Amino acid sequence: MHQVSDFRSDTVTLPTPEMREAMATAELGDDVLGTEPTVTKLEKMTADLLGKEAGLFVPSGTMSNQIAMALHCQPGQEIICEYGAHTYNNESGALAYIAHAQVRPLHGEYGIMDPKGVELLVRPSNIHNPRTALISVENTHNAAGGTIIPHENILALADVAKLHGLKYHLDGARIWNAHVATGLPLTEMCAPFDTISVCLSKGLASPVGSVLVGSAADIERGRYLRKQLGGGMRQSGILAACGIVSITKMIDRLSEDHANTRKLAEGLKQIKCVDLDLTTVHTNIVYFSVPGRESEFDEWMQRLNDRKVLAMYLGSRWRMVTHNDVDAEDVDRALAAWQEILG
């Protein structure tokens, strides 16, 4: 068991010993000047892994998503996404600030948008309307509980995008989890999209970084946007070296996180006052609520901390996330703490 069992997010992971060694020995250059060999290697490896022409290494998933949005939207155009999407709710209004686009969200079920409902949101060509430019999907869907978007739904939304001449983007921060849980090849999962953003610093345990992949032309334009946003990182091969370890060594082990999440969710479900929908527990995220007791949340947070368990609540829901730096014993500690607090 770890000294502290940290379930706040899969972003809290520390680089593995292999990553630290890779950082120390990475061949370095200057990425802004186009002479960073380790970054170039990571970008090509990630693009190949996902079946796209080119990749762009960026500091964060937010930057990766927002570069894609700005690539696909002209100022004043409109994006369709699910109501709980990270790009809409958790990226500091960047869609309005960077892409100068507005959002037309659709309430989905477990993060899954109805293709017919999406098609109804596509604006007719009319001088009074903003022009619809993009459909964006999040897989796995964080706010829905780390849920997996079924591939048949992905394909149906792709048909809508193609029919109306729209671009199609995937916020695939945790696409690795969906891949491991379903067994679908990454190239098949990503094929329908024009651009895909993937995160290295969540389940794959890198300290920093995401990669945007797409056509060579889009990625070249994206490189320019990255520079405008201050995302040129010079000797970023130190970070990219960790990313190479992430995509070559850390994907398959996500099944361990999924097993630990299932154990955690089923244990929490046994506590009578806990409201938890097990049908949303697909990968490495658990959301639950304790209705009517929200005023006690701050006290519970302190009591968890006293028991060396870290978690977080978002509004009226608690979220716990498994990752490389928690194991089955950490799950046992967390369940014992919650049972003591709520039992």
Domain residue spans of the chain:
5-9+253-342, 17-249
Q: Do 5-9+253-342 and 17-249 come out as alike in CATH topology? A: no
How many other C-beta atoms lie within 10 A of the C-beta of residue 315? Answer: 8
User: Is the per-residue pLDDT at 101 higher than 80?
Assistant: yes
When pLDDT is averaged across residues 109-115 and rounded to a whole number, the result is: 97
Specify the pLDDT at position 194: 98
Please give the Cα distance from 343 to 336 (Å, whole number): 10
Q: Give the pLDDT confidence score for residue 163 in this predicted structure.
A: 98
Tell me which CATH code domain 5-9+253-342 carries: 3.90.1150.10
- The dihedral sign for the CA sequence 214, 218, 222, 223: positive
Rounded distance between C-alpha atoms, residue 139 and residue 158, angstroms:
14
pLDDT band at 343 (very low <50, low <70, confident <90, very high): confident
**Three-state DSSP string of 132-180:** EEEEEEECCECCCCCECCCHHHHHHHHHHHHHCCCEEEEEECCHHHHHH
Give percent of the chain above pLDDT 70.
100
Residues contacting residue 314 through CB under 8 Å, at least 6 positions apart = none
Distance of CA 117 to the CA centre of its chain: 24
User: What value does the mean pLDDT take over residues 190-207?
Assistant: 97
Paired tokens of 337: 């703490």
Instruction: Indicate the average pLDDT of the chain.
Output: 97
Task: Report the pLDDT averaged over residues 190-203.
Answer: 97
Q: What average pLDDT does this structure show over 28-41?
A: 96
The two tokens of residue 243 are: 């990313």
Q: What is the pTM of this model?
A: 0.96
Q: Which of 104-108, 124-128, 172-176, 255-259 has the lowest mean pLDDT?
A: 124-128
Tell me if 299 sits within 8 A of 323, measured CB to CB: no
Give pLDDT tens digits for 141-185.
999 999 999 999 999 999 999 999 999 999 999 999 999 999 999
* Band (306; pLDDT cuts 50, 70, 90): very high
* CATH number given to 17-249: 3.40.640.10
Region of 308 on the Ramachandran plot (φ > 0 left; ψ -120 to 50 alpha; else beta): left
Q: Give Cβ neighbours of residue 168 (< 8 Å, ≥ 6 apart).
A: 134, 135, 136, 137, 157, 158, 161, 192, 193, 194
